[in-house]
Amino acid sequence: MTDAVAAGALTLAVLNALPGLLGGFLWYRDVPVENRAGRAFWMLLRVGQGSAVALALAVGSLAAAGRYSSENLFYLYALLPLAVAFVAEQLRVTSAQAILDQRGLDGAAAVGALPDAEQRGIVAAIMRREVGVMALSALVVAFLALRAASTASGF
């Protein structure tokens, strides 16, 4: 059973490292995210988040069945990715407001009054920040999953 739990954690690490690296590349190179790579990033990110939920459910099911890890840190590393993903989503939501505040704009109505080129620039800046936040969170989740795999013993 230990091998299956460790394999699940390693799978979680890979499924989050992929969007983390792709998102980091997109953010660093300032690649527009409305292209194929941007769509792939968001799809891979959601798959990675889903895998975090799946691992948490599997660990919870094992605990409910009376199978516990002898390493208590395992539970922290296995469940913390959910908290990281949740906080990252909250930060992603605030990205738009941060960009608007930087530019001294009150809201979406103020952006709508700008010329098209400026509107596109603001949207691109918001998307870039969102990609950066989510890529970083995916890399943190990948690290936590690797730690979970290394402490998955005693099941």
| 89 inside domain | yes
- What are the start-end ranges of the H helices in the chain? 2-29, 36-64, 73-102, 108-112, 116-150
Residue type, 103: R
CA distance 12 to 151: 14
For residue 135, the enclosing domain spans: 2-150
| 90 inside domain | yes
| 9 inside domain | yes
Note the pLDDT of residue 68. Answer: 83
**For the whole model, what pTM was predicted?**
0.89
- What domain count does the chain have? 1
| 34 inside domain | yes
For residue 105, give the 3-state DSSP assignment: coil
Note the pLDDT of residue 111. Answer: 86
Note the pLDDT of residue 112. Answer: 85
Token code pair at residue 3: 């091998």
| 77 inside domain | yes
Note the pLDDT of residue 1. Answer: 61
Note the pLDDT of residue 40. Answer: 95
pLDDT tens, residue order, the chain (155 aa): 668 889 999 999 999 999 999 999 999 998 887 789 999 999 999 999 999 999 999 999 998 998 888 888 999 999 999 999 999 999 998 988 899 999 888 888 888 888 999 989 998 999 999 999 999 999 999 999 999 999 987 65
| 155 inside domain | no
- The size of the chain, in residues, is 155
Note the pLDDT of residue 24. Answer: 97
| Burial zone of 57 (CB within 10 Å; 0-12 exposed, 13-18 middle, 19+ buried) | exposed
| 45 inside domain | yes
| 8 inside domain | yes
CA distance 8 to 59: 10
Note the pLDDT of residue 10. Answer: 95
Q: How far is CA 77 from the centre of its chain?
A: 15
